[in-house]
């Protein structure tokens, strides 16, 4: 049996403005199959003999991850939270240590949550080949059969053929220039480094102890000092912060004498930019990939994504146009790697557009800030059936709630009462209050905030069923 380890801690800044710090690309639905990238990663495991996947994600994304796994039918208790990103070697070590706690030595299939693989059958065939090699003590990586010279990926050179399939790894090489990439592809000896792996948990930990012992010791202390919280495994923040940030390639794979590789030719793409997404998208006769309400006239070779309104283009070619409720990106396809620079400038200016969307997901539902001024803010709030916001108070703002649909159970100081459609209630400044949806349909309401300070950090929580402080 395989134990999938899915790493879902990336930020995906090159896919801004859809991908944000609090809602990165692995949780987005970027294709036409209605699955997020994380869910598509889980879906392509159907048919393999696997245990429930172990997910590793940032603490900030824990409720997003749990909900998306729940929708796929998996128990949400197998989620390890990283208080801060420390790259892939420590993340995999946490999962391996966790799974070895009962004395077992499972075979781990390490996957990234933000890859696209179009041919699931070919993927599963490669996984089965790798499994036989991993059982023999090898640390297996999946090499992508290149279809072009690519300067954005690292390469792996083939070594000797192994009995039963696969090859040894001769060497890993960094991202090459175009001339070198051409030579690699023409030689037939090099495959792209996919960042996917398979090995026994204890073999990985043995090699980590040999080549990066400080990483292993930090992860052991972090896990031992952590605790289970609701559906999540939390690690000790101080200990994990002290861990070196290093990839599995640098920490283990480039140093071990036991690296092996299985070729994968399955329509793989790491979707690292908008142009990469255009590459794999369905296109019209003019080479345009359009999603949402798009009207393209005399337009060719473009990727156009409309989130909430009509986007029209006239007389353009090879553009990326991404429209969201609070930001618009227009870029030439040849410049999409520079989108990351825009995100860096937004962060330097302390602008919220780099952090979150206008729509913000919470464990109880979602809210959308639809208008704001100097001393007021208007939100559309949707609360899931059976969900409850924390018992809280605000020092600087009052709130007025108007129910649009559903029924709200409101705690307002010492009183608890129901508010139904077309009714409203008022929460004064400093009043302890709570909002709950006791019904079986979503609760939708409009919240009007007024006061001298309207930031989300003006929340004092007294009780919270989701473990938030």
pLDDT of 165 reads 84
Round to whole Å and give the CA distance between 152 and 435. Answer: 49
* Token code pair at residue 188: 């037939």
- CA nearest to 371, candidates 457, 455, 427, 449: 449
pTM: 0.90
Round to whole Å and give the CA distance between 320 and 237. Answer: 39
pLDDT of 32 reads 65
Q: Which residue bears the tokens 């309401």?
A: 445
pLDDT (tens digit, 9 = 90+) per residue, 325-355? 999 999 999 999 899 999 999 999 999 999 9
pLDDT in tens, the chain (469 residues): 999 999 998 888 999 999 999 999 999 998 767 899 999 999 999 999 999 999 999 998 998 999 999 899 987 779 999 999 999 999 999 999 999 998 889 999 999 999 999 999 999 999 999 999 999 999 999 999 999 999 989 999 999 999 878 999 999 999 999 999 999 999 999 999 999 999 999 999 999 999 999 999 999 999 999 998 877 999 999 999 999 999 999 999 999 999 999 999 999 998 989 999 999 999 999 999 999 999 999 999 999 999 999 999 999 999 999 999 999 999 999 999 899 999 999 999 999 999 999 999 899 999 999 999 999 999 999 999 999 999 999 999 999 999 999 999 999 999 999 999 999 999 999 999 999 999 999 999 999 999 999 998 999 999 999 888 7
CA distances from 155 to 126, 143, 248, 271 (A): 18, 8, 15, 17
Is the preceding omega at residue 17 within 30 degrees of 0, hence cis?
A: yes
Pick among 3.40.109.10, 3.90.550.10, 2.40.70.10, 3.40.50.1240: CATH of 2-269? 3.90.550.10
Q: Mean pLDDT across the chain, nearest whole number?
A: 95
Residues 200, 106 contacting (CB under 8 angstroms) = yes
The maximal CA–CA distance of the chain, rounded, in angstroms, is: 76
Q: Which residues contact 195 (CB under 8 A, 6 or more apart)?
A: 88, 112, 115, 270
pLDDT (tens digit, 9 = 90+) per residue, 185-224? 999 999 999 999 999 999 999 999 999 999 999 999 999 9
| Domain residue ranges in the chain | 2-269, 274-341, 359-463
Residues 362, 384 contacting (CB under 8 angstroms) = no
102 phi and psi angles, rounded to 5 deg: -90, 10
Q: How many CB atoms lie within 10 A of CB 331?
A: 20
Round to whole Å and give the CA distance between 136 and 139. Answer: 9
- CA nearest to 141, candidates 272, 42, 11, 268: 268
Pick among 2.60.120.10, 1.10.3720.10, 3.40.50.300, 3.30.50.10: CATH of 359-463? 2.60.120.10
* Token code pair at residue 381: 């709030």
Contacts within 8 Å (CB) and 24+ apart, 201-204: 201/3, 201/95, 201/96, 201/99, 201/100, 201/104, 201/105, 201/106, 201/107, 201/108, 202/96, 202/100, 202/105, 203/134, 203/137, 203/139, 203/258, 204/92, 204/93, 204/96, 204/108, 204/139, 204/252
The bridge status of strand 303-306 relative to strand 167-173 is unpaired
Report how far apart the first and last C-alpha atoms of the chain are (Å, whole number): 38
pLDDT (tens digit, 9 = 90+) per residue, 216-272? 999 999 999 999 887 799 999 999 999 999 999 999 999 999 999 999 999 999 898
In the sheet with 376-383, reading across from the earlier edge strand, the strands are: 359-362, 365-372, 376-383, 443-451, 397-405, 424-427
Q: Which residue bears the tokens 């220039």?
A: 177
Q: Per-residue DSSP letters for 121-179?
A: HHHHHHHHHHHHHHTTT-EEEEEE--SS--SSS-EEEEEEEPTTS-EEEEEEEPPPPHH
């Amino acid at each position: 049996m395989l134990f999938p380890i899915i790493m879902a801690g990336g930020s995906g800044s090159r896919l801004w403005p859809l991908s944000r710090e609090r809602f990165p690309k692995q949780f987005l639905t970027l294709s036409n199959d209605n699955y997020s990238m994380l869910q598509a990663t889980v879906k392509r495991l159907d048919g393999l003999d696997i245990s429930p996947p172990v997910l590793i994600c940032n603490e900030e994304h824990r409720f997003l991850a749990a909900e998306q796994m729940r929708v796929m039918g998996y128990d949400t208790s197998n989620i390890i939270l990283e208080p801060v990103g420390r790259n892939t070697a420590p993340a995999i070590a946490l999962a391996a240590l966790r799974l070895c706690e009962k004395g077992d030595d499972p075979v781990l299939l390490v996957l990234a949550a933000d890859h696209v693989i179009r041919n699931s059958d070919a993927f599963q065939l490669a996984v089965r080949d790798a499994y036989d090699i991993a059982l023999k003590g090898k640390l297996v990586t999946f090499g992508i059969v290149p279809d072009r010279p690519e300067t954005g990926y690292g390469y792996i050179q083939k070594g000797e053929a192994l009995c039963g399939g696969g090859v040894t790894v001769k060497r890993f090489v960094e991202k090459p220039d175009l001339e070198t990439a051409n030579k690699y592809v023409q030689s037939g000896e090099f495959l792209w480094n996919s960042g996917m792996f398979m090995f026994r948990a204890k073999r990985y930990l043995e090699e980590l102890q040999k080549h990066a012992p400080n990483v292993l010791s930090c992860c052991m202390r972090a896990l031992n000092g952590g605790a289970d919280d609701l559906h999540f495994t939390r690690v000790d923040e101080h200990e994990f912060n002290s861990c070196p940030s290093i990839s599995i390639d640098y920490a283990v794979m480039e140093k071990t004498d036991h690296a092996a590789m299985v070729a994968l030719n399955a329509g793989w793409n790491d979707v690292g930019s908008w142009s990469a997404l255009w590459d794999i998208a369905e296109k019209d006769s003019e080479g345009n990939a359009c999603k949402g309400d798009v009207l393209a006239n005399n337009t060719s070779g473009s990727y156009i994504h409309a989130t909430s309104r009509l986007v029209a283009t006239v007389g353009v070619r090879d553009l990326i146009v991404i429209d969201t409720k609070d930001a618009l990106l227009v870029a030439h396809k040849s410049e999409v790697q520079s989108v990351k620079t825009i995100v860096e400038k937004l962060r330097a200016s302390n602008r919220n557009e780099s952090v979150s969307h206008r729509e913000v997901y919470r464990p109880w539902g979602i809210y959308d800030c639809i208008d704001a001024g100097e001393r007021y803010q208007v939100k559309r709030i949707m609360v899931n059936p059976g969900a409850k916001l924390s018992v809280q108070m605000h020092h600087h703002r009052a709130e007025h709630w108007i129910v649009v649909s559903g029924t709200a159970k409101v705690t307002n100081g010492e009183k608890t009462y129901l508010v139904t459609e077309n009714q409203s209630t008022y929460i004064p400044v400093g009043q302890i209050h709570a909002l709950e949806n006791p019904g079986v349909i979503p609760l939708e309401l409009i919240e009007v905030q007024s006061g001298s300070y309207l930031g989300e950090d003006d929340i004092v929580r007294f009780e919270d069923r989701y473990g938030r402080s």
